[in-house]
Structure 1
Amino acid sequence: IEELSLGSTGGLGDRLSALPDDILHSILLRLPSTPAAARTCVLSRRWRGIWAQLPEIRFPFPSNPAAVGPALAASAAGPALRLLHVACRDDTGANAWLRTAASRLIAGGELYFYKRTPGEEKGQAEALSWQCRNFELPCFETAAKVWLRLGFVDLELPPTGVFARLTELRLEHVNLERGFQLGDMVSSPRCPALRELCIARAWGVVSLCIISQTLERLELDILHGLEELTVVAPMLRALNVHACFAWRKPVAAIYASRLEVLWWSDAFDPSFVLFGEVENLQQLTTFDIHVYGRFDYALLQDYVMLLQHFPTVSCLDLKLNYQRVSTPSL
């Protein structure tokens, strides 16, 4: 270690800088962020620009999103990216650098962009209504994984283009002004390799129709305003529907002959919810039942109808919620 020290002693040279580029890349990739890697340029001329040759760009929370664009520009002459990870409190310049990233990711590359705001961190989504900026989702033709958490800004979906290699898509905390386009975008013609899809805490999706020949896992978590759901997915094995219909009578048709695991924490009425040819279901999980306190008989009725609809599951995940009752001190 002493012989490789940058601070040469005993007449030794800068032997660390003499290492091949691939070893220096391996060293920099172990640093926590791209800014940390960029700061190594002060060590010597040899280190200048080494960070821009890395296949990963990482800006962990809380980062400055305005620095992502310059980092992408500095690395333009380097290799294609296998990872872009940004976590921040605003989306300054994000539309521009996401378009650049879409063209720079290698086949099988991954993109993670998390935008958090003080209002969101406190669980106050309504406090974010002042943020009505449009956010444009580019078509990632080469990415395998795309995770976006956008702090409830308006998300504009790409009307055309094929996400040819996308296997996993997560959209969280988004307003979908044209929510009717979501089903078209995630179905097989435009996502021919999609296996996992999660839409969580979204507004604007009134009707959702997903037709996929590859989808294996689908999670829909709090889709405010959803009225109608259709899923045609012969490879689907796990489905999670949580609080999407706001306890209204849902209208849903699920055609998933290989479905094995079902989480249904929402309203249910077999007159309006159709499960076609679901013969392989092994596990059923539903909402919590409060043992004490105010009792919701309508909710219990939905729960009973759900159990009656699947009478032969191997595993029933039933949660009884016993709220702690405080006793007055004497």
Structure 2
Amino acid sequence: MGSHLHQSSKSGSNRGAMEEVDRLSSLPDDLLHAILRGLPLKQAVRTSSLSRRWAHQWLRALAASRVLDLTDRDFARGQPPARAAATVSRCLRLHAEHGAPLDVLRVALLASPPSGSGPGPSDGASFGRDVIGWVAAAVRRGAREVEVDVLHLTPSQDDDDDDAAFLELELPGDLFQARNSLERVALGGLSLRAVRLPAAGLAGLRSLSLSHADVTDEAVRAILSSCRALESLSLRSCSLLTSVSVASERLRELQLLGCRAVQELRVAAPALESLTLYGHVCWSEPEQSWQEGNPVYFDFGDMLALRDAYLSHLGCGDYNIVHDMAYPCLYYVVAHARVLTLCSIGLQLLYQHGWDESAFREMPKLEELQLLLASPEPCFYWDNEDQEHVSTFFMLTPLPVLQRLFLHLPSDPGYGWSSSAAARPEETDGADMTLEHEVVLDQLTFIKVVNFRGTRRELRLLTFFLKRAPSLDQLVLVTAEGEEAPADEQLKAMQERVSELQRSSREARVSVCRPKEDDSPNHAHTRFFHEDDEYVAN
């Protein structure tokens, strides 16, 4: 009888599901069409199993859309790359057969090979022409935006033969020779070695992003000479770049990310509003002695239009303080920014120039500052206890309008940030950093600390700011996650300990919460490249 009841219950559930499908199928075509257009491709395709009518509607929705977005992470997961590429080709073919205009094409094949081993050039042979065909077809059909990223189908950047990544994915030389409708192009893992530059087809381009591409210094200059309307340029993990020169009257956004061979950067872009630099400033390669490391040379023109900047060098390998003379020049470039992210290596490099106060300058417009703090190994020039690199920055950099301060502590604590034991009151009461000049942050109303663990060093750093922010309205402490996540009683103890810290604003609201409970404002820059697998892997 129990089995009979179970079968009856199961059949009843199936009937309910079928009735639900029938009700959906009875909806007007236009409404079904709208529903399907809002679904990711993989889910839209699955509706074909419901009925022939749903299959027809999915094809109709695909054919009528002016935007083909095949970047859903689940789209190619668990499929061999060649099969995922075949699905993309089929979608493009169906779209073309129905004659619908194509404004936007976005494709990202993010699946890992089924075998678990990295694919080699032979894997790209079966669909490399298809990938190139997608780009060419989109350009030919008048697309305004083309984004094709096959990054995960290329060999590792650590391979001895860097050229192997591009053997089967070379763009044709005449691709951009004819005039077209392109306004935005983003290419990942494709070879540009054969593309003839300058090119008339790039004249209307407003945004260009190249990642893991074999673009050279000469090619960048030729591209910029073709793209007179360019407003945004992003160069990411391009291993052949060594001396980058960017000259543009209209460029508003520039990103140079993980291009580790760059030793010279020249920028003449008076309209630039946003600058993101992630990479070396001074370093020594593993095969070199620390005396032989060469710094990046910076040459920037006037940057009076700059609004936001992200400067970080965390996770970029070994660095040294002997060849750090370039950094203050870069620091001057961002002096007029309203939003800024700096890393602790940059603060340390400024600290090394602390004997010469001319290395620092006022930031009269800075409203929002984020500090990315790392866990370096102890050495002769690093004061782990007093964190003088932080205090020196605030002591020698006037910030008259700073309103919001964000401190991003290391997600993986190391030397000096150990969370083995929370600080006791006697370890932080009365402790302050030694300053030669007084610091007052009159306009600071909001402080947020991420990856907070309540250790002695963290509380001492926090006290430094609390005692110098008389107008503070809110302090938000977001705890660490994973193994470092505190238990309920630890969270309560943190709250009590922080509430006892000395502070100049008694009206400030103090909260300690877990990440999922945090609904407070975030800094404008929420992507941290030193925690990104793409750059860490490199």
- TM-score under structure 2 length normalisation: 0.47
Q: Aligned AA for 2:29?
A: L
Structure 2 counterpart of 1:257 = 304
Larger radius of gyration: 2
1:162 is displaced (CA, Å) by: 3.7
Structure 1 counterpart of 2:85 = 65
1:141–1:252 distance in 2 versus 1, CA, 3 Å: farther
Tell whether 2:280 aligns with 1:280: no
1:275–1:312 distance in 2 versus 1, CA, 3 Å: closer
Distance in 1 between the 2:334 and 2:21 partners?
Answer: 65
1:94 is displaced (CA, Å) by: 0.7
1:222–1:246 distance in 2 versus 1, CA, 3 Å: farther
Distance in 2 between the 1:225 and 1:84 partners?
Answer: 31
Alignment of 1:114-133 (within 5 A): 114-117=149-152, 125-127=157-159, 129=161, 130-133=164-167
Match of 2:170 among 135, 145, 153: 135
Q: Aligned AA for 1:263?
A: Y
Structure 2 counterpart of 1:11 = none
Q: Aligned AA for 1:28?
A: L
Q: Check the 8 A contact 1:254/1:276 in 2, yes or no.
A: no
How big is each residue's C-alpha offset from its partner over 1:245-298, in whole Å with a ceiling of 9 and x where there is no partner? Answer: 56322223212332243434467535995899987344554332499xxxxx8x
Identify the structure with bigger relative contact order (alpha carbons < 8 Å, sequence gap 6+): 1
Distance in 1 between the 2:273 and 2:356 partners?
Answer: 18
1:37–1:214 distance in 2 versus 1, CA, 3 Å: farther
1:147–1:312 distance in 2 versus 1, CA, 3 Å: same
Percent identity of paired positions between Structure 1 and Structure 2 = 20
Tell whether 2:145 aligns with 1:110: yes
Alignment of 1:60-209 (within 5 A): 60-61=72-73, 62-63=75-76, 64-76=84-96, 77-88=98-109, 89=111, 92=128, 93-106=130-143, 109-117=144-152, 125-127=157-159, 129=161, 130-133=164-167, 134-136=169-171, 138-139=175-176, 141-150=180-189, 154-156=191-193, 157-159=195-197, 160-176=199-215, 178-185=216-223, 187=224, 189-209=225-245
Q: What residue ranges of structure 1 are gaps of 5+ in the alignment?
A: 9-13, 292-296
Distance in 1 between the 2:94 and 2:160 partners?
Answer: 34
Structure 2 counterpart of 1:294 = none
Distance in 2 between the 1:114 and 1:271 partners?
Answer: 33
For residue 131 of structure 1, give the secondary structure of its aligned residue in structure 2: helix
Q: Check the 8 A contact 1:180/1:205 in 2, yes or no.
A: no
Match of 1:55 among 66, 84, 88: 66
1:70–1:271 distance in 2 versus 1, CA, 3 Å: closer
Alignment of 1:169-318 (within 5 A): 169-176=208-215, 178-185=216-223, 187=224, 189-244=225-280, 247=283, 248-255=294-301, 256-265=303-312, 269=325, 280-282=336-338, 285-289=341-345, 299=349, 308-314=358-364, 315=366, 317-318=370-371
Structure 2 counterpart of 1:36 = 44
Q: Check the 8 A contact 1:167/1:196 in 2, yes or no.
A: yes
- TM-score under structure 1 length normalisation: 0.72
Greater per-residue helix proportion: 2
Q: Check the 8 A contact 1:83/1:105 in 2, yes or no.
A: no
Structure 1 counterpart of 2:409 = none
Q: What RMSD in Å do the two structures reach over aligned CA positions? A: 4.2
Q: How many residues align?
A: 303
1:168–1:80 distance in 2 versus 1, CA, 3 Å: same
1:7 is displaced (CA, Å) by: 4.2
Distance in 1 between the 2:356 and 2:42 partners?
Answer: 50
How big is each residue's C-alpha offset from its partner over 1:56-78, in whole Å with a ceiling of 9 and x where there is no partner? Answer: 22333343123323322222242
Distance in 2 between the 1:154 and 1:246 partners?
Answer: 29
Q: Check the 8 A contact 1:85/1:113 in 2, yes or no.
A: yes
1:144–1:221 distance in 2 versus 1, CA, 3 Å: same
